[in-house]
Amino acid sequence: MTTMTNMTVGDLAHMNTATTEVTATLREAAADLAGEYKGMLVVSGPKGLIGVISERDIIRAIGEGEDPDAMRVEEMMVTDLVTIAPGGTVQDAIALMDANEIRHLVVMEGDEYRGILSMRDLTQALLGVVKL
């Protein structure tokens, strides 16, 4: 039986993540987020993952007066990624999210992208394990 104490990031991370291109506008990225029911998009380039952009990033840009039809994803995306390995523990993931005040972690195995782990994934895992 899987419990929170032996569950790993790799057990919970999603490989089927929504993506966008660096040249997309913030409006296009927002539409992608809405259409996929996701909170973060992986920004891909010729060599794979180059950054991420979240709903919070888009809201912040608009709140600061940026034009969502003019500003490109590449101008707002995060490239200094907070990552975790697939073998990381749930406790490690929660600690990283808390310390960095984020809701998503990029799961990497060395230089290879493995998926996204969200706070929602952690919450659903907890609710599936803990009997309330």
103 assigned to some structural domain: yes
72 assigned to some structural domain: yes
CA dihedral 108, 114, 118, 123 (to 10 degrees): -110
Q: Which tens digits make up the pLDDT trace of 1-48?
A: 455 567 899 989 888 788 999 999 999 999 999 987 788 999 988 888
A 10 A CB-CB count for 63 gives 8
Domain of residue 62, residue span? 9-129
Q: Which tens digits make up the pLDDT trace of 62-88?
A: 999 999 999 999 999 999 999 999 999
Check which CATH number belongs to the domain holding 23 and give it.
3.10.580.10
Query: What pTM does this model have?
Result: 0.84
Rounded mean pLDDT, 109-116: 91
Count of domains observed in the chain:
1
Q: For residues 126 and 90, what is the distance between their CA atoms, to the nearest angstrom?
A: 10
Q: How confident is the model at residue 129 (pLDDT cuts 50, 70, 90)?
A: low
1 assigned to some structural domain: no
Name the CA radius of gyration of the chain, rounded.
15
More confident site: 56 or 16: 56
